[in-house]
Amino acid sequence: MTSITTTTTTHSTVFLSLLVIFLTTFSSPALAQLSVSFYGSTCPSVFDTVRAATRSAINREARMGASILRLFFHDCFVGGCDGGILLAGGERNAPANGDTVRGFDVIDNIKRQVDAACGRSVVSCADILAISARDSIIELGGQSYSIPLGRRDTRTPNIAAARSDLPAPFDPLNIIINKFSRKGFSAREMVALSGAHTVGLARCSSFKNRIYNETNIDPAFAASRQANCPQTGGDSNLAPLDPQSPNRFGNNYFQALLSRRGLLSSDQVLFNGGSTDSIVRTYSDDADAFSTDFTNAMIKMGNLSPLTGTQGEIRTTCQRVN
Ligand code: HEM
Ligand SMILES: *[C@@H]1O[C@H](CO)[C@@H](O)[C@H](O)[C@H]1NC(C)=O
C-alpha cells in the first residue's frame, strides 16, 4: 500500500515538474500574467522609491502629477503599455502628442533612483510609469489601487498607432467611443477615464475653436477663457481642464460639464444631449461611483497588451533603447 502511494506520488511529482517546465518553456510570453508581487524579491523597494520620487516631483511642480497620468494613458493606448511613449523621437512626436506630453525627465529620474535603490536595472520603464501614474493620483487626492507589474519595454515605438489611435480634442462623441471601444472599453469606462481631466492643463490651441465658435458653452466661462486665449496667437497659453481644482482629483470635472464648462470640445461632447449624458450625471452626483469606475478602468488600461517574459527589454534609460 505504502509503496503504491509512493509510486503514485512520484509519478505525479514528475508529471507536474514536466508540466511546469513545458509551460514555462513553451507557453506564449503574451499569455504571461502581470502580478502585483512581480518585483517582490528583485526590487522590493520599488514602490517606496517611486512614491517618494513622484511626490517630490509634484511638490516641485503641481502640474507634474497630471502630466505623468497623461503619459501613462498615451503609453497604453499606443501599442500597449510598453514604455513606447517615453522614447525620444518616436510616438511622442505624433500630432496628438507633439509638444503636449511632458514628464520625460521626471520618469528618467525616478528610474535612476529605483535602479540605485535596488542595485541594478530590473524594473522596466513601462512599470515605473504605471506606478508613478497611480502615485500621482494618490498625491492629488484620488483613490489608491494595486498595480499588476511585469511589463517590459519595447524596442520599437509604434508611430503609426500614435497617429491613428489617440483621441483628439476635436473628435465627435462617436469617434471617441469608437477609439476606446477598439481598446476594449465601454462608453461608461471611456467617460470614467475622461474624468482624469479633473487635473491638469491644456494649451489654448487645444480649445480655441471651442471658446470662440461653439454654442454649447457657458458664455461667462467662454469669455473668461478668451481673456487668456486670443483668436490669433497665444497658442501655448494654459488653462485648467477642471475650472475648479486642477490639482485635486475628484468629480468636479463632471459637474463642470453639467454647467457647460468643459474646456475641450471632447470634454463637452460627453454631456451634450447624447448617449453618455446619464453617465456624466451619475458621476457628477456620486464621487464614489466615479472613483470606483475610474480605478477599475485604470487597472484595465494598464493591462493593454504589455510585453512580458522575454519580449522587449528592461531599458536602463527610459528615453532610449539599450
Ligand atoms: C477622451 C478622450 C481624450 C481626449 C480627446 C484628450 C485630449 C487631451 C488634450 C487635448 C489635452 C491637453 C493637451 C494640451 O493642450 O497641452 C489633454 C490633457 C490631459 N489629459 Fe486627456 N484626453 C482624453 C482622455 C484622457 C484620458 C483617458 C486620460 C487619463 C486616464 C487623460 C489625461 C489627461 C491629463 C491628466 C491631462 C493634463 C496633462 C497636463 O497637464 O500635463 N486624458 N487631454
Ligand atoms: C471658427 O470657425 C471658423 C469657420 O470654421 C474658422 O475659420 C475659425 O478659424 C474658427 N475660429 C477659431 C478661433 O478657431
Which range is least confidently modeled, 85-94, 116-125, 130-139, 197-206?
Answer: 85-94
Q: From 212, 214, 225, give the residue whose CB has the most ligand 2 atoms within 8 Å, as the site to mutate.
A: 212
Q: Is 74 one of the annotated active-site residues of the chain? A: yes
What topology is assigned to 46-166 in CATH? Peroxidase; domain 1 (1.10.520)
Nearest to 300 by CA among 195, 190, 165, 140: 190
CATH class (in words) of the domain with range 184-300: mainly alpha
Q: Whose CA is nearest to atom 4 of ligand 2?
A: 213
* pLDDT > 90? residue 3: no
Q: Which residues pair with 203 in a beta bridge?
A: 238
Mean pLDDT score of the chain, rounded to an integer? 91
205-261 pLDDT, tens digit per residue, is 999 999 999 999 999 999 999 999 999 999 999 999 999 999 999 999 999 999 999
CA distance readout (Å), 25 to 21, 30, 155, 208, 257: 6, 13, 23, 55, 52
Cβ of 200 less than 6 Å from ligand 1: yes
Which ligand number lies closest to the CA of residue 270? Answer: 1
Which DSSP string corresponds to 185-231?
--HHHHHHHHGGGGS-EEEHHHHHHHHHH-SSS-HHHHHHHHTTS-S
Measured from the Cα of 103, ligand 1's closest atom is 41
Question: Are the C-beta atoms of residues 148 and 34 closer than 8 Å to each other?
Answer: yes
On the question of pLDDT at 89 being above 80, the answer is yes
Write the DSSP symbol of residue 148.
-
CB 263 less than 6 A from any atom of ligand 1:
no
End-to-end CA distance of the chain: 59
pLDDT digits (tens, 9 = 90+) for 128-180: 999 999 999 999 999 999 999 999 999 999 989 998 999 999 999 999 999 99
- Report yes or no on whether pTM surpasses 0.85: yes
168 within 8 A of 209, measured Cβ to Cβ:
no
- Domain ranges across the chain: 46-166, 184-300
How large is the average pLDDT for residues 95-110?
A: 90
- φ, ψ dihedrals at 221, nearest 5°: -65, -45
Q: Which three cell numbers stand for residue 260?
A: 457647460
Quote the DSSP letter at residue 240.
E
User: Residue whose CA is closest, atom 7 of ligand 1?
Assistant: 169
